[in-house]
């Protein structure tokens, strides 16, 4: 067995997948989604103790901002590399940004790993072996490279062993009917809700080509391991980009489900486009991940709202199971537990490939509430000067592993203007 320091560069790479779920790591060998068979990590040996899983996922959450910074920088470099006319100076600058992001990630990862190994949740040899096997068979390239393993042209299928989605072939759409065709927000129904998706094509939405399509009545996003097939970007509701002030206070409903066990996504609200080349949206994000480490938490994508400490740890402005208040004047955040804690809320999420979950996001003045399947997952009161008061609504496609996610039944009710929340 190699030393922990020798194994760490490979082991830590698996954290970019969003950590390891308790269900995966604790199922017996040969169980679907567990070690030794099905769609889990084949042949990885004994199940991991719960405290080891918690330690791994804690590091994952702490590294989320740096991981996302790498993904955005990597996507920007790819887009510039395939842009005409060629701009070598911009490519060189983008590469430097990516190098800096990777270094920041590595330094923080090393500190977190050292802290973990000095704690009572120290990772043992079995956990390190588990991580090394996962990292070796799931990802190619150095930690943080954002390059999933698998040959170019494989359609994103990473195999034969280790890939949590080895049974899937990820195929990007060849056409996206309706993409980029603007439309006004339809008149509201009797309950005040206007549909944002017609269930047939992408009219009203805009994105990079060949990622989004309509499949079985749902918006479907596929990213692959192919060159250019994995970019940090968003599917943007065009009317909110053209009229951001209209989308200040609202109640937004959307159903979602993951079809892959890898990936990362979310619903952006009150956002702003910070990269026109990649069509990337920054700002408040109701986070989504197939590993169910942070579904329903509120994230500040790219720090557009002035990313800040929430008082309870982790990268989210609004962690699951908490109401977080950021008071006017920029004082320390106040954290109050919600009636249901994070583990209880996580258990409400339907499994990958199963039924759709229903998300409701209420943005009303400084208050943002995220509900999933009828339960409040987080609440944020943002009274900081840097708070976002209106802006773009979008669905995220995250760079990194191949993925597939679906959304449907998207509708919105615009709420009256609230005092102190002028766009």
Q: What is the pLDDT of residues 353-378, one digit of tens each?
A: 999 999 999 999 999 999 999 999 99
pLDDT tens sequence across 256-285: 999 998 899 999 999 999 999 999 999 999
Of all residues in the chain, what percent carry a pLDDT higher than 90?
Answer: 51
* 358 contact partners, CB below 8 Å, separation of at least 6: 253, 254, 255, 372, 373, 374, 409
pLDDT-based confidence at residue 336 (cuts at 50, 70, 90): very high
> Rounded to a whole number, what is the distance in angstroms from the first to the last CA of the chain?
58
| CA torsion through residues 121, 122, 126, 128, sign | positive
Mean pLDDT of 407-421: 86
Is residue 390 scored above 80 in pLDDT? yes
Residues whose CB is less than 8 angstroms from the CB of residue 261 and which lie 6 or more positions away in sequence, other chains included:
33, 39, 164, 165, 290, 291, 352
Q: Which residue has the higher pLDDT, 58 or 11?
A: 58
Segment 334-345 shows an average pLDDT of 95
Instruction: Specify whether the CB–CB gap between 231 and 264 falls below 8 A.
Output: no
Element (H, E) at 98: helix 88-117
Per-residue model confidence (pLDDT) at position 89: 85
Quick one: pLDDT at residue 154? 26
162 touches 170 (CB < 8 A): no
Can you give the residue ranges of every domain in the chain?
4-138, 194-414
pLDDT class for 419, splitting at 50, 70, 90?
low
Q: What is the mean pLDDT of the chain?
A: 79
CA–CA separation, 166 vs 272, rounded Å? 36
d(CA 336, CA 314): 15
Q: Residue 47: what pLDDT? A: 56
Contact criterion met (CB below 8 Å) for 19 and 293: yes
- Using the 8-state DSSP alphabet, how is residue 415 labeled? P
Tell me the CATH architecture of domain 194-414.
Answer: Sandwich (2.60)
pTM confidence score: 0.67
pLDDT given for residue 93 in this prediction: 83
Pick left, alpha or beta for residue 387 (phi over 0 → left; psi -120 to 50 → alpha; otherwise beta).
Answer: beta
139-188 pLDDT, tens digit per residue, is 333 333 333 332 222 223 233 333 567 667 889 999 999 999 999 999 99
Asked if pLDDT for residue 119 goes beyond 70, the answer is yes
């Amino acid at each position: 067995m190699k030393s922990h320091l020798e194994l760490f560069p490979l082991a830590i790479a698996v954290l970019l997948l969003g950590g390891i779920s308790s269900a995966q790591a604790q199922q017996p060998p040969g169980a679907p989604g567990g070690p030794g068979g099905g769609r889990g990590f084949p042949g990885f040996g004994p199940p991991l103790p719960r405290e080891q899983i918690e330690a791994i996922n804690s590091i994952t959450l702490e590294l989320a901002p740096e991981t996302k910074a790498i993904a955005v920088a990597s996507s920007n470099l790819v887009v510039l590399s395939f842009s005409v006319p060629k701009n070598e100076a911009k490519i060189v600058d983008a590469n430097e940004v990516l190098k800096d992001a990777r270094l920041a990630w590595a330094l923080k990862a090393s500190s977190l790993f050292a802290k973990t190994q000095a704690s009572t949740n120290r990772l043992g040899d079995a956990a390190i072996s588990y991580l090394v096997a996962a990292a070796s068979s799931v990802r190619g390239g150095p930690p943080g490279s954002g390059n999933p393993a698998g040959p170019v042209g494989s359609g994103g299928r990473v195999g034969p062993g280790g890939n949590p989605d080895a049974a899937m072939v990820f195929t990007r759409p060849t056409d996206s009917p309706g993409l980029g065709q603007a439309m006004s927000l339809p008149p509201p129904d009797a309950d005040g809700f206007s549909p944002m998706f017609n269930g047939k094509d992408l009219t009203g939405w805009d994105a990079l080509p060949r990622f989004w399509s309509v499949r079985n009545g749902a918006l479907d996003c596929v990213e692959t391991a192919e060159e250019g097939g994995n970019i940090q970007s968003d599917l943007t509701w065009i009317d909110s980009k053209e009229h951001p002030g209209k989308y200040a206070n609202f109640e937004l409903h959307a159903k979602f489900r993951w079809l892959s066990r890898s990936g990362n996504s979310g619903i952006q609200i009150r956002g702003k486009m910070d990269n026109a080349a990649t069509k990337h949206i920054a700002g408040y994000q109701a986070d989504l991940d197939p590993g169910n480490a942070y579904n329903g938490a509120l994230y500040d994508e790219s720090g557009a709202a002035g990313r800040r400490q929430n008082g309870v740890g982790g990268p989210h402005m609004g962690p699951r199971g908490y109401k977080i208040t950021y008071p006017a004047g920029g004082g320390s955040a106040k954290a109050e537990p919600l009636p249901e804690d994070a583990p209880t809320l996580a258990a409400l999420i339907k499994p990958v490939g199963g039924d759709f979950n229903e998300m409701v996001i209420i943005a009303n003045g400084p208050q943002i509430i995220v509900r999933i399947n009828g339960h409040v997952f987080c609440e944020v009161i943002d009274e900081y000067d840097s708070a976002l008061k209106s802006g773009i609504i979008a669905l995220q496609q995250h760079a990194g592993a191949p993925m597939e996610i679906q959304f449907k039944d998207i509708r919105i009710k615009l709420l009256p203007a609230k005092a102190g929340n002028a766009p």
